[in-house]
Structure 1
Amino acid sequence: MQHSKRHQTALRVSEMDRTTTPTTTSSSPPPPIDSETALRLEVLDSKTYEASLQETWRSREAEKGFDWELEKLRRRFSGMEMNDEGEWVKVGGADWTFSPAKRDLLEDYDTGISASTTTTTTAKQTYELTLFDTVKVFIFNTLSIIGMGDMVGMSRVPTAEIQKYEGSFLSFIKGALGGDLQTLAGGPLFLLLATYFKKYGPVFNLAFGPKSFLIVNDPVMAKHILKSSPTAYDKGVLAEILEPIMGKGLIPADPQTWKVRRRALVPGFHKRWLNRMIVLFAECGDRLNQDVAACVDRGGATEMEERFCSVSLDIIGKAVFNYDFGSVTKESPVVKAVYRILRESEHRSTSFIPYWNLPFAARFMEGQREFRRDMGMLDDILTELINDCVNTRREASVEELEERDNSDDPSLLRFLVDMRGEDVESKQLRDDMMTMLIAGHETTAAVLTWTLYELCAGDQRMLEDIQDEIDNVMGDKDKPDYDDIVGMVKLRAALAESLRLYPEPPVLIRRALKDDVLPQGGSKLKKGVKVMKGADIFISTWNIHRSEALWGPTAEKFDPSRWGRAINNPAVKGWGGFSPELGERGLYPNEIASDFAFLPFGGGQRKCVGDQFAIMEATVVMAMLLKKYYFTFTGTAEDVGMRTGATIHTMNGLNVIPRERSEGTRRVGKDGKRGGYWDAMNKGEGEGSMGEGKNMKGGGQGDERNGKCPVDH
């Protein structure tokens, strides 16, 4: 790939790093930049476009409002990340810069190379896994399982043997023959990992015979993995599983393709587009309210999980490729197809036998025949949309596209196709669109579902506080704008708490591309945890988010007020705790504020790029719904149940009875007042409240990431 000379004026590694980094020739790949070196970068060249933007936001007081959220999004897309001190730095190398004369934020690259066929040559040359690596992992896993790991230098990581699970013998045989860990587990894998977490602690091996997965339940270890260079850890088995579905979309893409596609998508997230998206969220939210109103008129119940899936699909359809699924007002086969595809993806991720590649699999396995039918239907829809867009292409510069009246087609697909200089390659566009279709609606639907579930099942004062906040912020308006989103602090806290208890997905999958050592974290392994090249790793966000060592004795409790209280535990070595001050800088308390104890959208360079989009979408839809209605279960909260696809779903649906809100139906307490949940919890009066106090264990230092005094719980 050809780079222009202006790229050589990008962020440069400091003199200290240059003197310790060996020079390389064009015939050999440059050495990878480790996570520490990547953060030691000089100040940007003052003449670059990037530097001028940084100067605009030099004052911390200016870091608020819609423009600041847009700027944060732009920075993440351009390869920047906030470090532990709250400073924005370049990561993952120093090959990006921005022209002072251009606003497109794109690095020039050889458009003759199709992104869908780009490969990670540097990573493959340096860290390609070989048969020797596979055999080595196999042997070492076997030795570790039989208690001889110390002889080969492995850490004393406890091993949970899945074959000891006390399920039925027939289920065990079925799971063993089919290579299915979930069948062996007797249910969702992440719940089995939660059981073992309570027994084995922050890190353990999950073994079935010689096949082993390293399970990480610790924020310090997770941070090390997620913030490492892409040449140290990749998506591993996840990329292999998702490639037939998403191709080289952002989620499964190799590092080089991912960089190219991310840069191509940057300009589409401009201010006018995001403003238009808030209007779109409200339009689709209004459809949902009308559907619920019809249910109220009938005096019956409705299944809200399906409704949330439908509204999320309608939003992503219009936002990404200007297609109206209309699934809120009619049953959509696409929703069911997407869900079945996600279930199949998850099943493949926990299988140690690639049954889908077996000869005649599609002939003898009904699930594989159904999977191919579903993929064919989605491919047909996307192919038609892409072809229509390409056939009506009106090429323009980024500046012209930003100013163009896009009311008839505000989609990202239209922007990508019309962007001058962008290589319009149908296969790559298909991969991008498929990734956004599946990943873009599933997570939001799950967040909305579990938030409503918890608000119905929990302390009613909590719901009353949130509804009162919505009333006060929105006033007489039916549809919120961006300022309203920012103002609904309690509602956004409830959404964040839902993401904490029901992370989407509950497990992050990685594979080590070189030998490594994880930090001690909350484990008792003072020398850290040795990771072998080729090892498969599951980072259990479910366990991290529900860990009492991180979130205290109320870790399993739905308590949105917790996001206003600082917390720290010196027993977890290297963890900075949770800082509410850092959490208030964005629309949700991200992984920086919690020092990787809260990972709803992942972390590091491969963090989900749609986090702000998802939070804004969920806030608008939920605010409009709760402004007009309150809900009661048709049965009990326990009837809802839980199961998992790629995200966590209900077992029996979220069946509720909606009723319109009015002064006559608004509940009041015994003292004649409504709400008061937040006040009670912050005063330490609520059930399970953690109140005011010290660190959870002992004294020690708290969080100094922001240059403030240590925070105490």
Structure 2
Amino acid sequence: MSSAAPQLPAAVNGGSQKLRFRQTGLSRLSPPSTLSPALPRKRFSTKCQSTSVEKPRTKRNLLDNASNLLTNLLSGGSIGSMPIAEGAVSDLFGRPLFFSLYDWFIEHGSVYKLAFGPKSFVVVSDPIVARHILRENAFAYDKGVLAEILEPIMGKGLIPADLDTWKVRRKVITPGFHSLFLETMVRTFTKCSERSILKFEELIERENHDKKAIELDLEAEFSNLALDIIGLGVFNYDFGSVTKESPVIKAVYGTLFEAEHRSTFYIPYWNLPLARWIVPRQRKFQNDLKVINDCLDELIKNAKETRQEDDVEKLQQRDYSTLKDVSLLRFLVDMRGADVDDRQLRDDLMTMLIAGHETTAAVLTWATFLLAQNPAKMRKAQEEIDSVIGGEGITAESLKKLDYIRLVIVEALRLYPQPPLLIRRALKPDKLPGGYNGNKEGYEIPRGTDIFVSVYNLHRSPYFWDWPNEFEPERFLVPKGNEDIEGWAGFDPSRSPGAMYPNEIISDFAFLPFGGGPRKCVGDQFALLESTVALAMLLQKFDVELRGSPDEVELVTGATMHTKSGLWCRLKKRS
């Protein structure tokens, strides 16, 4: 349940509603100017790196030159003395911006300035600097542009909330994701996944009985599955979207599409007077919000009518096997001393609905995409499932033994982080560390500076990962020393004892699948566990192949990294 930040704020996207690029398997999982996986495991300086792998420069037109001139005039010295990225305007069209951010990272280093006309941004691609922003000086920053985009949808939910509201709500919500609740949720994950499996089996029986196989869009199926899980786990509502469609489901998807639209549209026209009534798209959005809010209000009302108030400790020790409505909403309503108005509860639920749904569906999509291109790794995963689960269902205990499946999930999150950017704004002047190969004196930034922490760059950095563009789940088992990188503690699985999944502590902020520090995603374990259960149950029953070539899978970016036309796969029942 990652903080599903839109990939780009409206002011930065250059007007393209959907940026896309063509994938060609693992060889094209990376931007053009990355280290070849065949290179030996050694470090390269920034200068050597940019020289050895620099992509050919495209011929710049008059608009490109004018843009760069404007960038230099308006940004030169407004944010410290860091390097300035001079990209062609054409770099902003035809592919996701975070690919250009990677190229500029290789060229300019871990911290650089990027300007679009009068607006400057600082792009961070270094774990040392990311740690400073997200953990060491976290309360000197808020969500900035991100909050402005999401506030009309999520209100004062955890993602867009101001710091004062966030501090109060975080203390209330975090205890709800306690260990007994998560263990109980495994049954919900299994129940919802079984619906999908049964649907696939019935389709095979009805449409292609002889060949025991069928072709379908797994991204759409994962999206339906994630929606059902969030509905039941967070606010005790069964969408049943795997097998049916309702006005509420249509409204949820309409709201998701609008969140993506706002994150990737150049001009925030929805803020104009009367736009919500005059523009058809915005009228539909307001109607969709009303349908969802009415549904949430009714659920909150029902939960409060059956309230059983108790202290947090006792709520966490409940016998969940006898509780009829096991949900985060039930916990929040029953918590003594946590009285809150219905509007705030609704904002909290809406935030988790949007954030938790999109990211989980995306993780499952790309994990399947990667495994389908690596039959040997898929067989290894299935052998583990057969050994641990056999013909039985998944339990909380058996889930702990699915070591390889869990690594597949986190490796998919490394290659396809959801979201690829974390957005922050400085609430006061600060001094950023220089990072690896950066200015040893650091970089002074003024109040109001907008920052992109590029999770995509961090996860594919050739300075902190061996073979960064290769799909290697086992990499998380091997400690990695910091060698000559001052200020980075290296990668050490023993640093976070008891953790079922690698995290930012183990990697010292080189791996940020759910952010880090105080504002890290509160539902990270919920999302990881549901993804693991869903993937394991799919592979237990089916062999999965891509319907066509990986070239046919195109990527678009918005709230998350997802496909343009679905992940069409061939599912064949395992014997």
TM-score normalised to structure 1 length: 0.66
Q: Which has the larger radius of gyration?
A: 1
Matched, 1:160 2:86: yes
Q: Which of residues 518, 524, 528 in structure 2 aligns to 1:605? A: 518
Q: How does 1:309-708 map to 2 (within 5 A)?
A: 309-331=223-245, 334=248, 337-349=251-263, 353-398=267-312, 401=315, 402-403=317-318, 406-458=322-374, 460-477=375-392, 479-552=393-466, 554-568=467-481, 570-582=483-495, 585-662=498-575
> CA shift at 1:144, angstroms?
7.4
Give the conservation status (yes or no) of the 8 Å contact 2:197–2:538.
Answer: yes
- Report the Cα offset of residue 217 of structure 1: 1.1
- Compute the RMSD of aligned alpha carbons: 2.5
CA distance in 1, matches of 2:96, 2:90: 15
Q: Gaps (5+ residues) in structure 2?
A: 1-67, 209-213
Structure-2 separation of matches of 1:245 and 1:512: 23
- List per-residue Cα deviations over 1:78-130 (Å, max 9, x = no partner): xxxxxxxxxxxxxxxxxxxxxxxxxxxxxxxxxxxxxxxxxxxxxxxxxxxxx
Partners of 1:295 and 1:633 in 2: CA distance: 18
Q: Determine the C-alpha separation between the residues in 2 that align with 1:232 and 1:352.
A: 28
CA distance in structure 1 between the aligned counterparts of 2:425 and 2:295, rounded to whole angstroms: 33
Q: Is the 8 A contact 1:211 1:352 kept in 2?
A: no
In the alignment, the residues of structure 2 paired with residue 607 and residue 521 of structure 1 have an alpha-carbon distance, to the nearest angstrom, of 21
The one-character-per-residue Cα deviations of 1:54-96 (angstroms, maximum 9, x if unpaired) are xxxxxxxxxxxxxxxxxxxxxxxxxxxxxxxxxxxxxxxxxxx
Residue identity over aligned pairs, in percent, reads 50
Closer/same/farther in 2, CA of residues 271 and 527 from structure 1, 3 Å limit: closer
Equivalent pair of 1:473/1:488 in contact (CA under 8 Å): yes
- Counterpart CA distance in 2 for 1:551 and 1:400 is 44
Residues in 2 aligned to 1:188 and 1:148: alpha-carbon distance in whole angstroms: 23
Alpha-carbon distance, 1:338 to partner: 4.0
Deviation at 1:567, TM superposition (A): 2.6
> Mind listing any 5+ residue stretches in structure 1 that lack a counterpart?
1-140, 168-183, 663-713
What SS does structure 2 have at the residue aligned with 1:530? strand
Deviation at 1:220, TM superposition (A): 1.0
Kindly provide the CA deviation profile for residues 543-565 of structure 1, in whole angstroms up to 9, marking residues without a partner as x.
1111111112x211111111122
- In 1, the alpha carbon distance for the partners of 2:475 and 2:383 equals 19
**1:708 matched residue in structure 2:** none
Pick 1 or 2: higher relative contact order, CA cutoff 8 A, min separation 6: 2
Q: 2:391 is aligned with what amino acid? A: D
Check if 1:196 corresponds to 2:104. yes
Residue 487 of structure 1 aligns to a residue whose secondary structure is coil
Residue 169 of structure 2 is aligned to residue 256 of structure 1: no
The SS at the match of 1:305 is: helix
Report the CA distance between 1:347 and its aligned residue: 4.7
Q: In structure 1, what residue type is equivalent to 2:220?
A: E
Contact preservation (8 Å) 1:521, 1:575:
no
Code of the aligned partner of 2:86: A
Measure, in 2, the Cα distance between the counterparts of 1:551 and 1:245.
Answer: 37
Q: Trace 1:183-262 onto structure 2 (pairs within 5 A).
A: 184-262=92-170
Which residue of the partner structure matches residue 217 of structure 2?
303
- Kept in 2, the 8 Å contact 1:395–1:419? The answer is yes
1:193-227 alpha-carbon deviations (Å, 9 max, x no partner) = 23333333322222111111111111111111001
Query: In 1, are the aligned partners of 2:362 and 2:561 still within 8 Å (CA)?
Result: yes
1:287 to 1:198, Cα distance in 2 relative to 1, 3 A: same
**CA offsets per residue over residues 465-520 of structure 1, 9 Å max, x none?**
1111111111331x111221111111111101000001011100000111111112
How many matched pairs? 500
Q: Cα gap change, 1:469/1:584 in structure 2, threshold over 3 Å: closer, same or farther? A: farther
Deviation at 1:231?
A: 3.4
Alignment correspondent of 2:194: 286
| Cα distance, 1:453–1:525 mapped onto 2, change above 3 Å | same
Match of 1:146 among 45, 68, 73: 73
Change (3 A) 1:148 1:613: closer
Question: 1:583 offset after TM fit, Å?
Answer: 6.0
8 Å Cα contact 1:506/1:541 also seen in 2: yes
Q: 1:492 to 1:404 in 2, by over 3 A?
A: closer
Could you say if the C-alpha distance between residues 558 and 583 of structure 1 is closer, same or farther in structure 2, counting changes exceeding 3 Å?
Answer: farther
The C-alpha deviation readout for 1:536-595, integer Å capped at 9, x for no partner, is 00111011111111112x211111111122234545431222113336631111001111
Residues 632 and 430 of structure 1: CA distance in aligned 2, closer, same or farther (over 3 Å)? same
Residues 248 and 428 in structure 1, CA contact (< 8 A), matched pair in contact too: yes
